[in-house]
Each structure stands twice: as C-alpha cells, then as structure tokens.
Structure 1
Amino acid sequence: MTQSPATPLPPPKERRRLREAGSLTQAQVAERVGVSRETVRSWETGRTTPRGRKGEAYAKLLTGLGEEATVTGAPVALRAPEVEVPVEVVTAEKVTVDEGVTVDEVAKVDDTAVLEPVPVSVPDPVPDPEPVLVPVPIEVPVRASLTPAQAFDALYAFCAPALVRQAYLLTGRRELARESVERAFQTAWQRWPEVAVDRDPAGWVRSVAYEYALSPWHRFRPRYRHPEPPPPDTSDRALLTALLNLPPSYRRTLLLYDGVGLGLAETAAETEASTPAAANRLLHAREAVAAQLPDLSDPGELRRRMTELASTGRLHAAKPPTVRFVGERRTVFWTRAAIAFTVAIIGATTFTLRVAPTRYEAPVPVGERVEGVPARVVQGSLSEEEISLRDRLRNGMTSGPERLAPLSR
C-alpha cells in the first residue's frame, strides 16, 4: 500500500508557484522526479496527489525551491514558462546606479497573455566605469484578454492533431477519427463556459472524443459497415489488427497509459474505473498484444510503434472556424426543430380542445333480444303453441277503448 510522503506537500497552487520561482518547467521537474510531464501537471492542478517515492522526491524538490525563494527574498508572480526577460544594456552615462537601487516593475509579455509586473532586485553595483547590465522598466502596450473564440481556437490547434491520431488507433478509421474529434470540440464550444474553467480542458475534450469514437451505434451507419483499407506496411497492419481485437475498454486504457503517457490514477479516472481495474485492463491488453506481436512485449517499444502507426496515415483536422461554424449551425438546427415540435404539440392540443364535445353524450346501448316472440315460419297450419297464443291474445284484451284483434290472412 502506498503512503503519503513524509515531507509535507504545499497546496497545488503553491506547488506551481514554487516551480516557477525556481525558473523550472514542468518537463524539467518531471525529469528530476522521474515521472511524465502530464503527471506533474496533474499534481499542480490538484487532480492527483503524489505518493510513494516519487511523492517524497517531489516534496523534497519543492522544499528546496521554497528555501531558495526565501533566501533570495524575491516574490514571483504567475508567468508562462521559458519566457526570456528583455533587458537593455545601459552605460554609466545613461543611468547612475546607487547603492540599494531596485527596479520595481519589469513587465514580461509573451504571445498569449499579459503577465503581471515581477519585482527584481539588482545586486550592489561595483564602482567600475565599465557598462553594466541593468533591467529597466519597459513600457509594453496592454493587450486585452483572449475572447472565447480565440481561446477555443488555441485549444483546438494544440489538441486536435494529436486527438485525431489517438482516435485512429481506437477505431482504425480515419473518417471516424476526424468526425469524433470535431464532434468533441463542437460539444466543447456549446459548453464553453464549463470547459473554459475546467482544470484540464484537453482531458475534457479527449474524454468526449473517445466516447464518441467507441460508440457501438456506428456499426449501424452505412458508411461504417465496411472496413477501411489497412495500412500498407505489414508491421503496421499487424499492430492495428492487434489493437482492434482488444475490447474497447482495454484498448482505451492501453492508449491512455502507454500511448498518451497518463499515470495509472489519471487513466482510471478518465475510463471511470478503479485503479486496480485499470491496472488489470492494462496488463491483459499488453499480454494480448504481446501474444500476437512478441516484439512489442516492451512497453517502451509498444509506445514507439503506436506513435509511428498513428503518424503514417494522412490525418488532418478541420480548421477551428469551420468546427465552430458547423457546431453553431447544428445547434441552431436542433433548436429550431425543438421549437417546431413544441409548436406542433401546442397546435394539436388546441385543435383537440376546440373540436372536443362540451357535454357528456351517453353511448347508444347495445340492443337486447326480446324473449317470447315466436320465430317466423313458412305459412301453413298453426301449431298448438301458436293456436294457444292466439286464443290468449283474443281473450285477454277485451277491455279498454281499443281492442287488439289479429287479422287472418
């Protein structure tokens, strides 16, 4: 059973702040700790908690970064990684440096966002007539925040190409892979207020794309009843066949762990399974692939071959404006269809109320059979019963204003 690290861990936001205070990227932290960059990102967003030896190493690294920040005494604001700070070479004639001079605001700007001023301390100058490098405040025009369309286009440009390749490994169909990714991003655009504040927007879109790609209803569509032409290379064709022979849940777990590089906890969360179940699926999937392709028993080799297989096909995603336009048009269509259906129901209800009867009308009862009436027979001599009935009628109706008397024919 894994245990939490002995060294206390700071909150997720503080972890990111400490990393940026040490001028380290997520890839550099992952290399020092011995994990993937996606795992470090999930630690900083709070999706997972570091545990075991990796968690202890991560906690010690953060502790060291915190001690360095305390020694330097320079607070660090949120900034994008690997951004070069613009400096200007100023001679002694331009700037007179006195003891204890600090530059309070240095603006850092990249291509995507405007960052906050970062206080930077300047060491004590050496009384030397030689030129010195002194960071000076630079006036930068303030750039407005990204619009929802710009943020969506940036997310699409970053994630769509890789998602199309991943969906191709899941389905073995290029058209279905493109359609799955486009539908996922269309859904994300419809629910953009929710996706924009998600901890992992790329993971949100990836989950929707995988669900659509692995939907069993595609087998009933005429365009997907017949398989697409396999890859021309024999090894690629064998690997794709081995992947498609796996159950969908095993195939998705194998792709997330060995293909995308997610941790076991993240893979279990995205596949909506427990961690032991995800581990068993991963082991069985590897065994099934290794049984058909013994050369791919090594997980590293399997990941490399899946990457090569996904890169061989011509898999291109549509442009972001096209995806947004198609999604908006589909939304408008279904909205109008829902309005038309509602109007039709209201009209049918109104017509029924107009033509319906306003009072209760009793139904016509079913006719009852009259007893005692003799059956009609052919003319001839009367039977004894008929003679008795005739006498009874003649004798019984002798009183009253009217007298019923049978007429003989």
Structure 2
Amino acid sequence: MKTHNSIEERFQFTGNAKTISLVAIVIGVIAIAFGFILGGEHVQSTYSNLLLMSYYFVCVCLAGVFFCAYQYAAQAGWSAAFIRIPQAMARVLPIASVILIIVVSFGLFNEHEVVEHGKKEMVPYLYAHWATHGLTDPASENFDPIITGKAAFLNIKFFYGMLIVLLGAYSYFGLALTKCSEAEDTEGGMSNYDKSFKLSCIFLVIFGFTFPIFAFGAIMSLEAHWFSTMFGWYNLAAMHVSGLAVIALIIIYLQKKGYMSWLHIDHLHSMGKLIFGFSIFWTYVWFAQFFLTWYANIPEESVYFYARWEPEYKFWFWFNIVINFVAPLLLLMSRDAKRVMSRMMWTCIILVAGHWLDYYIMVMPGTVESPGFGVEEIGIFLGFSGLFTFMTLNALSKFSSIVPKKHPFLQESLHHHI
C-alpha cells in the first residue's frame, strides 16, 4: 500500500467498521427471526420492514449510479477524486436488487388470514390491495372494478418483469461505468472516459423515464386504489438526498481514518450544497403533492393522506417534514455551515434517519394495522445498515486505487476551490 500522501492508496477494510457492520447484520437476522417466531402481527410487521429496508437499500445504491452518471454527463471535474465511493455503491446494486426481489417474492406468495367486513379471507403479506385472489374476477365476491381497470400493469407477470428489467438495467449501467473507470486506470487515454460519457447519457434518459414506474410498482401499489403522478419524483428526491448523505458520510469516515488526504473542505462544501438543494427540492415535491390533494379534496386521492392523519401516524407525518426540511435548512443554509465536518456529519446522519422515516410513512399505513417502533423496526434497520456498510466498504477495498489515477479531470478535482 502507498503512503497516505499518495493518490494511489488502496483502502483496507479492517478494524471497527468491519466488526460493527457484521454485528449489525447479526442483529438484523435476529430481529427478522424474532418477528417470524412471534407470529401474528409481528410477521406482517417483519415483511413490511423488510420491504422498507430492501427498497431503501436499492435506492441508496442506485443513487451511487445516478451520481456517477450525471457527473460524467455534465463533464464535472470536482468529484473525480472521490468518484470511487459512488462506484462502490454501484457495485453493490445488483446484490441489493436480488434482495429486494426475494423480499417481494416471499411477501407476495405467502398469505395470511384477515377479517374484512365480517368475513375471513387469505391475502398476501405484501401488495394485498392488488394481488389478493379474485379481485379481477367479476364472479368473485372480492371483485374490485378499480383494480380490474388497472390490471394491465397491476399483475404478477408485469410486476416481476418491471422489477427484473429495470433493476437489471440499472445494475448493468452501474457496473459498466465502474468497469470503464477501472480500465481507464490501466489503459489511459480518453476512450474509456468517452464511453462513460455515452453510457451516462443513455442511463439518465432511461432512468428519468423509468424510475417513477419502479417507485409506482414497488411502493405506490401497496395502496393500489390511490395514485399520484408526483409520487415517482418524490421518491427520486428522497433517493437522491439519501444517497448524497451516505456518500458524504463515507468521505468523512475515510478522511478520519487517514484516507483521501487530497480531499479538502471545498469538496465537502460542494456535497453540502447538493444535499441542501435537493432537500429543498424534496420539500417542494412533498408540499406540491400534499397541497394539491388537500385543495382538490377528491376522495380517492385524499384517502392516502387521511390514513396518515390517523392518531398513530399523524405525529410522524409532520415530524417527517421537520426532520427532512427544517433540519437541513437550519443546519446547512450558510456557507460556513457546509465547511464544518462535524456539522455535515450529523446533518447527514439526521437525513439518513429522516428518509427512513419518509419511507416508513410511505409503506406502513398500507400494510400494517398496528404500527410501532419495536424490535423489527430497529433491528432490521440496523441489519440492513450493517449489510450496506459491509458490502460497500468491501467493494471499495477491491479497487486497486481509491482514486481514478488517469481520470482526465483529476487535477481539476485535486485543485477544487470555491
């Protein structure tokens, strides 16, 4: 390994981070087993939390691909010195995608008995609003004309096709961008950078048109009677802010461990501007979706927010906007605030937890009758956090150098000042 003053250093994944991440994974496994062993409502809560965290896992890894792509497409130079971090996240995306598909499969094909309108029926643990038997059969007592009208896309074949094709495409582009960057280190020249530029432009077009579809299917269809054309962009904003916060936290961790000494406070400042700006964008979409629904007061739309104003969710519904808007607004608005490492670190931790709450508000009202914050919520969150940390830092350690030595804009990044 080179000295820490060299831009050719290689990250070694050892020490407390590795141990703590493995312990967190074990806690997650125990929490999952705990939920299934207790049975009853705990099983439903376990499935819901598994969906929440596997979706969050995918979104954060996907944010790494998205970050790389728009940096290449914009021909940005400032981020070149730490581009390996989102590339490591991109490397984990295929595994995160497989985990999400496995969780969805178990939730769809395992059923439990519920009592609705005085009668017992068997429904899936996940996506019961459209995957319950008989909803599209006019002869069935479960017939639902609204779901029948959406049956062209709310069906098992389309749902799986959407997940596999979109997650497969996103994973391909993430791995392709990473491969080009590694080849650039050994081959030099501009060919791999030019290829990365083209791949990024293609990815951004595909991603822009398809991510809302992914969000519609994976999360919005949990409450299949409701729809919002803004939901996809709302999820995109949440995904991006969460991913930026994670990238910033990894930068801070590496610097505290003595790596990436060539990065300085201006890089963190630029990350802070992105985090602040897209937190404001998230708030804009949150408010627009909520305000238009409130103003129109159309029953099939307002029912979504009505459910989130029930006593068990109302506090968390409003706390969501406080933690994800007010916190970054107060903590990151000034120039100096973005240049204080400890403040950036705590703001990013707040946002990672805040957008977990954001996804909680999206998932739980449509799946869980008696919500709460217990063993399943805390344990599964810790488990997936450990899994993400372990896999991302392990992927980062596989790079021969944690800086793309022959990136054409590397010198611009090393001399980045604002």
- Quick check: which one's helix share is greater? 2
Q: Select the structure of larger CA radius of gyration.
A: 1
The TM-score with structure 2 as length reference comes to 0.25
Compute the TM-score of the two structures, normalised by the length of structure 1: 0.26
